Structure 1
């Protein structure tokens, strides 16, 4: 089963694209006139010049909005697309789900004429995020098994510029660290169901840590411990944008 057939049913509401993260992606795409979105999900961050989306999950495809780019149900490792089909190819928070990373990246390079833009995260940096460091180390351990080292990804891309993407305090895209200043959100099972590291780790494994978090929020210990976060507008949790190809340096 495609993982998002099981956990992706609420993505259209809980994983709405954030305009500030979108600005990073748009800038990285530059003047590309045609874009293919691989691992497209429900269509987050697709620019107007997207000519095709590629997504393996039928559940995610059904959540794509009216007027979105045409979509084909396929995997990154075997794109049913001609060589050099678009100026740019983008892949947003998806490479860690691929079964064959080398094959998938080779396909991106085959299809892109000029540029490849990949949003991912740096696991060593993410491990210091309070949620996984203090409460849910089981989720961090799960991510250890699937996270792609940024250096390895850059090498497979043939070299890439790496840009930090800070997470806004009111981020509308509910990925793993989106709620760094809104800790109570992680107690919501709907929120957790749309964060793959939590959904795949499983509720039983997460329960003790979530109970500790709930207690610390009620007592005020979390706010005391993390008072330095409360006035911040954004936070670097390790999310990284890689830009390869023309104008990537």
Structure 2
């Protein structure tokens, strides 16, 4: 994917898997014997039984650890795999990048024998609960309005799936969109934003005014006064969801 050929160059620095989220994903995979990771990126959250990673960006593939599963450059909508190739297929924070989510999900169903695990988010919940996009960067949220795939649609495409909330720890080590909800200064760091496609694809010019307001509120103590309740929380639910479909 050309997007990650340009914005993914430093991805491995800020997007390190969080062990608590990893545990939830690996529990969802259950006792499946072999796993294919679609939209695999740098290999975060791949269990040891991963047999293949599918990733369109060579830049992302180049950042995969040497000991990770072999990777093939391909897109979700056309997986280079036979029917029923793997016991389980997982797709983590990737579907919003797909050109045709329905075709991609159909491919997951074709390749998986037993289970599909998808990590995504509920855009309506995200907009309402995450202070950064609600109060400072609605422009970034508007960008995601166009690409976020509704949870109900995904469940239908999967042929049914159970939903699990994925709480975000206050010290989350995986720097995705809401990872720094209790560390607001982090969003002023260009390197942090560089690992979050919501911000990089919205463009610095569009989000710069909101970042200035955030910096001013942090300097004046207004952010901490307004969000003092967050500082007592260990985790927060801002809409990230794990979908688990048994075939």
TM over 0.5: yes
RMSD: 0.6
Tell me the SS of whatever aligns to 1:127. helix
Structure 2 counterparts to residues 104-143 of structure 1, below 5 A: 104-128=104-128, 129-143=130-144
Alignment-derived partner of residue 185 in structure 2: 184
Q: Are the equivalent residues in 1 in contact too, given 2:11–2:194 (CA < 8 A)?
A: no
Alignment-derived partner of residue 38 in structure 2: 38
Structure 2 counterparts to residues 1-249 of structure 1, below 5 A: 2-128=2-128, 129-245=130-246
Number of aligned pairs?
246
Deviations 1:149-203 (A, max 9, x none): 0000000000000000000000000000000000000000010111000000000
CA distance in 1, matches of 2:10, 2:170: 21
Q: Shift of residue 11 of structure 1? A: 1.1
- Misfit runs of 4+, over 4 Å: none
CA distance in 1, matches of 2:172, 2:10: 17
TM-score, structure 2 normalization: 0.99
Q: Are the equivalent residues in 1 in contact too, given 2:127–2:133 (CA < 8 A)?
A: yes
Deviations 1:71-120 (A, max 9, x none): 10000000000110110000000000000111100000000000000000
Tell me the SS of whatever aligns to 2:53. strand
TM-score, structure 1 normalization: 0.98
Q: Shift of residue 6 of structure 1? A: 1.0
Tell me the SS of whatever aligns to 2:65. coil
Tell me the SS of whatever aligns to 2:141. helix
CA distance in 2, matches of 1:6, 1:147: 21
CA distance in 2, matches of 1:12, 1:65: 10
Unmatched tracts of structure 2, length 5 or more: none
CA distance in 2, matches of 1:183, 1:27: 30
CA distance in 2, matches of 1:155, 1:27: 23
Unmatched tracts of structure 1, length 5 or more: none
Q: Shift of residue 141 of structure 1? A: 0.3
Q: Shift of residue 214 of structure 1? A: 0.1
Tell me the SS of whatever aligns to 1:37. strand
CA distance in 2, matches of 1:20, 1:13: 19
Deviations 1:21-50 (A, max 9, x none): 001100100000100000000000000000
Deviations 1:223-244 (A, max 9, x none): 0000000011000010000000
CA distance in 2, matches of 1:237, 1:3: 25
